[in-house]
Amino acid sequence: MCDANDDSDACELLGPAPKIPVPDDVVEAIRTLLRWTGDDPTREGLRDTPLRVARAWREYTQGYAEDPAQHLGRVFEEVGGYDEIVLLRDIPFQSHCEHHMAPIIGKAHIAYLPKDHVVGISKLARVLHGYARRLQVQERLTAEVADCIWNGLRPRGVAVVIEATHGCMTSRGVRTPGVTMTTSRMMGVFREDERSRKEVLSLIARG
């Protein structure tokens, strides 16, 4: 059976561990919210909704239960002399904004220039999801992913570009669908050397 600390691909396919108990005050808080909207939390269609919502939010925010840096603990030093850019493009992710708790849905491009070793490519996606599954703002998410890879791998350069749509803008407030926000963080040679920065941005743009 898989648990929250299991890092295997098999457990990722099997899904999360068995449902955890939800505190009564959390369930009651959601019932209060339902009543505040004008609906009746005791009616048949909503009777189990508070528990479902609580468990869903536990899943949405499971990043708080992990240290994303742990995914970079295992590296490979024998890479046949490879010393060029490693890029993962179009990694899908979901998060929730800390201001309205509305969905943030997007994709990330993560690149690094190895120095002495590389890491399994799935680990970069795990770092992203570890930070995304928290209440976030896109700017901080971008910085956290880049900083984690920079500190964990000590590469020559790190580049993280995130493109996302924000439910707090598309479904409320100005209600402007189709707007994408782009943020980036460049570190090492990707920040200091214009040629290297142009190269990695060109590779990302090819998608």
Tens digit of pLDDT for each residue in 72-115? 999 998 778 888 999 999 999 999 999 999 999 999 999 999 99
Give counts: helices (H), strands (E), the chain: 8, 7
Active-site annotation holds for 2: no
Q: 72 and 123 in contact (C-beta within 8 Å)?
A: yes
Q: Which of 179, 171, 130, 139 is nearest to 7 (CA)?
A: 130
Specify the pLDDT at position 63: 98
Verify that 149 and 173 share a domain, yes or no.
yes
The active-site residue, picked from 96, 138, 144, 148, is 138
Q: What is the mean pLDDT of residues 138-148?
A: 99
Q: Which domain holds residue 55?
A: 24-62
Q: How far apart are CA 114 and CA 101, in angstroms?
A: 36
Q: How far apart are CA 79 and CA 166, in angstroms?
A: 39
pLDDT(62) > 90: yes
Residue 5 lies in a domain: no
The active-site residue, picked from 129, 144, 166, 199, is 166
The active-site residue, picked from 11, 62, 98, 163, is 98
Active-site annotation holds for 11: no
Q: How far apart are CA 152 and CA 158, in angstroms?
A: 11
Q: 128 and 65 in contact (C-beta within 8 Å)?
A: no
177 three-state secondary structure: coil
Residue 80 lies in a domain: yes
pLDDT(3) > 50: no
Specify the pLDDT at position 202: 97
Q: What is the mean pLDDT of residues 144-157?
A: 98
The active-site residue, picked from 70, 100, 117, 163, is 100
pLDDT above 70 coverage of the chain, percent: 90
> What is the domain-level CATH number for residue 165?
3.30.1130.10
Residue 68 lies in a domain: no
Q: Angle at Cα 26 formed by Cα 67 and Cα 22, nearest 5°?
A: 65
Active-site annotation holds for 97: yes
Total domains present in the chain: 2
pLDDT above 90 coverage of the chain, percent: 79
25 three-state secondary structure: helix
The active-site residue, picked from 12, 28, 94, 99, is 99
DSSP state of 182: E
Verify that 117 and 181 share a domain, yes or no.
yes
Active-site annotation holds for 136: no
Verify that 109 and 200 share a domain, yes or no.
yes
Verify that 57 and 82 share a domain, yes or no.
no
Specify the pLDDT at position 9: 44
Alpha helix segments (H runs only) across the chain: 9-14, 24-37, 49-60, 121-132, 138-153, 167-170, 189-192, 194-205
Active-site annotation holds for 70: no
Active-site annotation holds for 96: no
Specify the pLDDT at position 201: 97
CB atoms < 10 A from the CB of 170, how many? 17
Of 3 and 24, more confident: 24
